[in-house]
Amino acid sequence: MATLILRAPLAGWCAPPEEIPDAVFAQRMLGDGVAIDPTGNELHAPCDGEIISIAASRHAIALRHADGAEILMHVGIDTVGLAGEGFELLVRKGDRVRTGDLLLRFDLDVLARKAASLVTPIVVTNGDRFRITSTNINRPVAVGDALLTLEDQSVAADAAAPKGAPVVSESVVVNHAHGIHARPAALIARHAKGLPFELEARARGRGVDPRSAVALMSLGVKGGDEIVIVGFTPAAAAAVAELAGVVRGLEKLPAHKAASSAAPRASVSTDPANLRGVVASRGFAMGAAFYLHAAEIPVVEAGTGADRERAALERARAAVRERLGTLARSASHTAREILAAHLELLDDHELTGAAARAVSAGKSAAFAWRTSLRTSAAALRATGDPLLIERIDDLLDLERQVLVELGGVVAEASVEIPRGAILIATDLKPSQIIGLPAGALGGIALAAGGPTSHVAILAAVMGIPMLVAVGPALLSIDASATVILDADAGTLSPVRGVHELAAAQAELARRSAARARELAAAQRPCHMASGERIEVFANLAGSIADAQFALAQGAEGCGLLRTEFLFLDRATAPDEREQLACYEQVAAALGGKPLVIRTLDAGGDKPIPYLPLPAEENPALGLRGVRTSLWRPELLEVQLRAMLRAPAGQCRVLLPMITDVEEVRIVRGMLTKLANELGLPLPQLGVMIETPAAALLADQLAREVEFLSIGTNDLAQYTLAMDRGHAELAARIDGVHPAVLRMIAAVTAAARESGCPVAVCGGLASDPAAVPLLLGLGVTELSAVPASIPPIKALIGSLNLDACRSLAQAALALPSSVAVRALLAAQKPASEVHP
């Protein structure tokens, strides 16, 4: 194609982009084009092509011409907020249309009353390939009039895309519940960067470079969508299969949720004395309202020389990279995951490339960085996917951090927040909350934000009560007011008198006293009311902070140290010295209390970039856990050497995904050989019971090892033959299903004959309703999420073992997990269970 003439898709006054009342379009962040202030109510196709994208709220349609030009038509400004009101869609994604075909009708009256503006941008979104040579602006246009002339820049096109047509491809259905959002996109991008071929990821009518996490997110791929990985040479076949395997493995990635992400949004009050919002993290708090303002950082567009601006941007990114790395070393596991995603975005191929091109074109480093990130943010917003839109905060967070390093403004981190204050803001970024000392905030209330944002996830992990989407009325609360934040009921209000103040203080005192009693009692060894000793350990992800927090909650040791965190988010495997340093630090933080270290549990839901696993039809049934370690014994040997050198007598070794005795004997042989070579004693060895095979062979396994640990999450998955990542089945995968309980009963009965202790380290150990069942089935040790330890220990102290055994026997006879849950719900309160 030499040139392409785009026809006016709607009637009205045609103007240049500068007149669009929205910075994203006015500054051409999404691409160059024109704006039409409509006089009609119909949107038509500006050229022949395929509909490649339709916003969920029906306000925007993207079309691709056969020669590759992509045109976005965005009816009105801020019309996404109308949620489809006033729009009648007449085409579907994937439809092929001809010039002039009717695509959409819209109600001008509704838009005039409810939208920020009727002005409709018509944008060429791949301007790197197609240059606008003429426009028909500053005049009225009718549907079908010549609007834009595009010229195919063949040189740029050749540089921007792989040569030739796809030669090899593999399609994969994305079964991760949340689709390809930030963390899955970062994982795919990291893996793609290590492959020596040009590849493309295609979905929803578009293709992007899979080395860019931002580009992958912009596809808007949801759970159940299909994505196709393509290569452009026969030699790329293995790389295509490898990357497709990574995508397939996404279904096992945990889908982060805030404490109540499913909570419905209450109607938002405009009265600042009685506000409602969405619960992001439960709890109750009262404190002084404290506003955190983040003013827009001004930037200068013109640069002072490409070399100077390029060096300044690199220095700023390096400073942010170093700071994020430092934070990650002492952060919680959840915060480390979020920081890892930010580090990936900081070096994202598409973000840095767009910024570099802008600098080369004479722009300042600050302007180039902002434009690059906001263009990508606009692309995510255009998908209409709420989860992807919440990831925009991560981009804007990185934008601000780099601009701060470029000298734009003093970082908000230097602002002193009064201890116990209720932080009020329009929105928050992850960097503003990561690193806050424990107990620094009483609570958080945001006018905007969402319950699945990274800030919401962090607040839930840190135990900070939080409301989001409270609305603009929140910002009218007096900065000197004392406010009550009830993140159980979803309300926030200023204290309105001495009686309300006294009631809130009484509620805080009641909760504080109950929590203090639980914490105090949790510091003592745990016994049932009937006298039986039950050990309560913590599941840890590996940081010193995690271990210290677990001890403060009353953990009697670590029942499961997940070591895979050492192997993720890096280019090579950790060496023996690094692994040993981690184990020693956690052991020291535990103060001599037991430390159970699980060997690498990779594969399936935990793909590792430098450990490419063979393509598998069902990764959950393939190389997982100990199978992966035995497939790569050199990695296992390094890890076992580090474990042997860890504090003797304190550290124990746990093997994941065992299915038979032979696997145990092979690892035991390696462990014995290495111990003899190092002149060190053998640690206790245990196995995870996560498969029906291991449960049914528990009698044999109990004779081979010193302890058993039941992973109820996987045991439920494999016993019920239901994928943990399957959105439709997730609610049915319950560890209290009678079939799973019978597996647990079989394990404890077999282990009892050998005198082998049995622990539970899966999700049921942190479920108060399930704890009496587990104890009644014969479990003598629980390893739980640290925050749940105080109430779990308090519950155990109220239980009578005979009553628990009766309850367990009744549950074993029931037909379903629903029936078991009903039985548990009908039980007397814990305080009434003991005699």
Q: How many CA atoms lie within 13 A of 262 on its CB side?
A: 0
Is 454 tagged catalytic? yes
- Rounded to whole angstroms, the Cα distance separating 76 from 120 reads 5
- Rounded to whole angstroms, the Cα distance separating 646 from 643 reads 5
Selection from 563, 492, 580 nearest residue 286 by Cα: 492
- 458: region left, alpha or beta (phi > 0 left; psi from -120 to 50 alpha): alpha
Query: In the chain, what is the straight-line distance between the N-terminal and C-terminal CA atoms, in Å?
Result: 86
> CA–CA distance from 810 to each of 398, 550, 738, 773 (Å)?
55, 34, 10, 10
> 3-class SS at 326?
helix
Is 558 tagged catalytic? no
- The residues, ordered by sequence, that sit 6+ positions from 308 with a Cβ below 8 Å of its Cβ are none
Selection from 683, 655, 642 nearest residue 599 by Cα: 655
Question: Of these residues, 14, 454, 737, 804, which one is catalytic?
Answer: 454
- Rounded to whole angstroms, the Cα distance separating 606 from 593 reads 28
Selection from 405, 432, 390, 434 nearest residue 346 by Cα: 405
- Rounded to whole angstroms, the Cα distance separating 532 from 527 reads 5
- Rounded to whole angstroms, the Cα distance separating 447 from 470 reads 5
> CA–CA distance from 39 to each of 11, 85, 86, 116, 447 (Å)?
6, 19, 16, 16, 35
Q: Which two tokens stand for residue 333?
A: 């596991």
Please state the φ and ψ torsions of residue 423, each to the nearest 5 degrees: -75, 125
Number of neighbours of residue 498 by Cβ within 10 angstroms: 8
Sheet holding 96-97, edge to edge: 96-97, 49-54, 60-64, 70-74, 120-124, 32-38, 12-15, 139-141
Q: Which two tokens stand for residue 616?
A: 């598998």
> CA–CA distance from 758 to each of 30, 446, 505, 541 (Å)?
58, 45, 44, 21
Q: Is the dihedral of CA 345, 316, 542, 598 positive or negative?
A: positive
Q: Say if CB 465 and CB 491 are below 8 A apart.
A: no
Please state the φ and ψ torsions of residue 285, each to the nearest 5 degrees: -150, 155
- Rounded to whole angstroms, the Cα distance separating 183 from 252 reads 12
For residues 132, 221, 211, 453, the Cα torsion angle rounded to the nearest 10 degrees is: 100
Q: Say if CB 555 and CB 585 are below 8 A apart.
A: no
Selection from 570, 554, 478 nearest residue 520 by Cα: 554
> Between vectors from CA 531 to CA 525 and to CA 535, what angle results, nearest 5°?
35
Helix, strand, coil percentages for the chain (3-state, nearest 5): 40, 20, 40
| Burial of 169 from C-beta contacts in 10 A (0-12 / 13-18 / 19+) | middle
Please state the φ and ψ torsions of residue 539, each to the nearest 5 degrees: -85, 130
How long is the chain?
A: 835
Question: Of these residues, 526, 756, 761, 804, which one is catalytic?
Answer: 761
- Rounded to whole angstroms, the Cα distance separating 333 from 454 reads 13
Q: Which two tokens stand for residue 657?
A: 């995904």
Selection from 429, 402, 405 nearest residue 347 by Cα: 402
- The DSSP code for 510 is H
Tell me which residues are annotated as active site: 454, 761
